[in-house]
Structure 1
Amino acid sequence: MALIKTQSDAPLAKEARRMPRDCTGLIASLTASDPTARRWAARDLVDCPEAAAALVERLKQEPEVSVREVILTTLTSLGGPVAVSGLVDCLRSEDAALRNEAIEAMQKLPDAVAPLMRGLLADPDPDLRIFAVNILESLCHPEVESWLIEVIEGDPHVNVCGVALDLLGEVGTSRARDSLVRVKARFSDEPYIRFAADLALGRLNED
């Protein structure tokens, strides 16, 4: 059966089309009452690198999922230090959905995220360090294994090391073998660490 457009759809779309189309006008449209206007503005700001800060600020308060999705798509297209710094700020949010969205967006920006990764993995907040490891899960960067090895060698928090071990069990190579043995000894009283390290070592032996 054909979809029937509601009477309110056309006026909303026409209102959104009347919004200013220059970068300044599009940034202003991010706070429009009509979510269609906000969504279109976020989409068209892909050609406005100076809009990264405004997009991040809107992301932190945007209630509409569809608008958030477009904002994140535009931020990943823009990349750059402002966009990435804003996404890092989102990792500290109490909003779990926003944190997960930021993690997914950062996974798509390996070159921009890489210079920040060691700082994230050394953050005083263990939860943020865990989020940083989560970013590594799908971050296509040649240093992922090295960063994970550094975590299990030096991070004092058992949960951070546990998350890193889970991922290292999937991506680790023989380079990680000695570190896996050492983390078992360092957390000898933690059954899960011993289990995860043994699992990772077992996978190395199978390769």
Structure 2
Amino acid sequence: MALIKTQSVEPVAEESRQAPRDCASLIASLTATDPIARRWAARDLVDCPEAAAALVERLKQESEVSVREVILTTLTNLGDPVAVAGLVDCLRSEDAALRNEAIEAMQKLPDAVAPMMRELLADPDSDLRIFAVNILESLCHPEVETWLIEVIDRDPHVNVCGAAVDLLGEVGTLNARESLLRVKARFANEPYIRFAADLALGRLRET
């Protein structure tokens, strides 16, 4: 029985990359019907800082997981204020997957995210404040503990404080001890806060 030669995937991908590669054309290709063309465009836009807004807009409506991944990688590599502001806006989305993707992308941008962290942690929306604490979980920045201490000292919402206390149990030092005692007293009628604070207090490390 003769073998039927299957067509290689790579030539299809390369054909989808034959459109003009200037920044304006690449931005236009973000809305192409072919997801491979959209993926190539998103990847090649890494050299086009002016494309951040278009990438964010596409991210909010893109259904192909592989394209979304490339868009997020490009936004992370761009890392400019427009890209970061767009990711922050994604935190307000009703799409849980998009919110989680934005959180993961922002965790990779400590220097770009740091200037707006206090603003995020003070946002009127308690859910967004929790997402901001989630960003801190893997944000490699020296102020993470300071921001978490400010949260448990000032935030009125038990769930926001609970998220911050949980994280202090992982990253906190003895500098957080007094704040943990205070939040435990402030939410004395909340069993979880008492439990989490005691757990965090037992894990604090010396600076």
Task: Describe the shift of the 1:109–1:5 C-alpha distance in structure 2 as closer, same or farther (beyond 3 A).
Answer: farther
**Residues 173 and 205, structure 2, Cα contact 8 Å, conserved in 1:** no
How far residue 204 of structure 1 moved from its aligned partner, in angstroms, is 2.2
Q: Which amino acid aligns with 2:197?
A: A
Equivalents in 1 of 2:156, 2:24: separation in Å? Answer: 47
* Residue matched to 2:110: 110
* Residue matched to 1:151: 151
Q: Which amino acid aligns with 2:50?
A: E
Equivalents in 2 of 1:18, 1:171: separation in Å? Answer: 48
Q: Which amino acid aligns with 1:39?
A: R
Equivalents in 1 of 2:189, 2:48: separation in Å? Answer: 53
Alignment of 1:43-82 (within 5 A): 43-82=43-82
Q: Which amino acid aligns with 1:77?
A: N
How far residue 7 of structure 1 moved from its aligned partner, in angstroms, is 4.0
Equivalents in 2 of 1:124, 1:5: separation in Å? Answer: 60
**Residues 106 and 135, structure 2, Cα contact 8 Å, conserved in 1:** yes
Q: Which ranges of structure 1 fall in alignment gaps of 5 or more residues?
A: none
* Residue matched to 2:19: 19
Aligned residues: 204
* Residue matched to 2:33: 33
Equivalents in 2 of 1:206, 1:198: separation in Å? Answer: 17
SS in 2 for 1:147: helix
Task: Describe the shift of the 1:80–1:206 C-alpha distance in structure 2 as closer, same or farther (beyond 3 A).
Answer: closer
**Residues 145 and 172, structure 2, Cα contact 8 Å, conserved in 1:** yes
SS in 2 for 1:131: helix
- Structure 1 stretches of 4+ with a deviation exceeding 3 A read 4-12
**Residues 12 and 34, structure 1, Cα contact 8 Å, conserved in 2:** no
SS in 1 for 2:204: helix
* Residue matched to 1:185: 185
* Residue matched to 2:120: 120
Equivalents in 1 of 2:98, 2:124: separation in Å? Answer: 21
Equivalents in 1 of 2:48, 2:103: separation in Å? Answer: 23
Task: Describe the shift of the 1:6–1:103 C-alpha distance in structure 2 as closer, same or farther (beyond 3 A).
Answer: farther
TM-score by length of 1: 0.94
TM-score by length of 2: 0.94
SS in 2 for 1:92: coil
Task: Describe the shift of the 1:74–1:181 C-alpha distance in structure 2 as closer, same or farther (beyond 3 A).
Answer: same
**Residues 173 and 206, structure 2, Cα contact 8 Å, conserved in 1:** no
* Residue matched to 2:98: 98
* Residue matched to 1:174: 174
* Residue matched to 1:83: 83
Q: Share of identical aligned residues, percent?
A: 85
Equivalents in 2 of 1:167, 1:130: separation in Å? Answer: 11
Which stretch shifts more, 196-205 or 22-31?
196-205
Q: Which amino acid aligns with 2:129?
A: R
